[in-house]
Amino acid sequence: MSQVKSGFRLAGLVLVGFVVGAMFFGGVASLFFPSVHSRWLAPVFLVISVPIMFLTMERWVKVMAGFLGLAVLNGLLSISSGHVLANPTMPISRLDAVYLTIFYAMAATLTSTMKARRLTLMDRISVMAFLCSLAFLISYQAQLEAAKSALFNATGFALMGVSLCCLCVAWAHNRFQRRRAQGSRSQSSAEVQ
């Protein structure tokens, strides 16, 4: 009986996680590309989802690298097929698919470094900035796709760069903190001897 309760609890938490994530991505998309109904809905979604995501990040950041890894797989399939995986009628150049695959691979690598450590305030801010710029990138690409325009231009590449910079800031801050802590430990052990 306890396994059944545990299973229902896990399923409920996963469902709530997807709803909160969808509220965040929908809120960011509606904020940058508003429609008639989204002008008041976007801030409501963001006010609800951002604090929840910020406070529970310790749990879900561990699986974020896995989702980004799935995006890498999606990119590899797009490279081989020559079209967007979710929309077979939308062709994508193989070079653009390579760019997307490299972007998601780098993001997956950088987020995987956060799994084994306790997140700092800088990590949390950087991950939220990454997700915000990723949501904007996805929304921007959807706008271009709806207009039957090329999926990438200078704005798309700039958004990918900003997204990766957010994760690089968290990674570099963690490296700096670890080296500083190791330096102070080695200095204190040298003083003891």
DSSP secondary structure, the chain, as one string: -HHHHHHHHHHHHHHHHHHHHHHHHHHHHHHHS--TTHHHHHHHHHHHHHHHHHHTHHHHHHHHHHHHHHHHHHHHHHHHHSEETTEEEEE--HHHHHHHHHHHHHHHHHHHTTTTS---HHHHHHHHHHHHHHHHHHHHHHHHHHTT--S--HHHHHHHHHHHHHHHHHHHHHHHHHHHHHHHHHHHHHHH-
Q: pLDDT-derived band of residue 50, with 50, 70 and 90 as boundaries?
A: very high
Mean pLDDT confidence for 34-54: 87
| pLDDT score for 83 | 82
Q: What is the pTM of this model?
A: 0.83
For residue 76, name the pLDDT band (cuts at 50, 70, 90).
Answer: very high
pLDDT of res. 190: 57
Tell me the per-residue pLDDT of 143-162, one tens digit each, with 9 for 90 and over.
Answer: 877 666 666 778 888 889 99
Domain ranges of the chain: 1-55, 57-192
Using one digit for the tens of pLDDT, what is the confidence trace for 83-93? 877 777 778 88
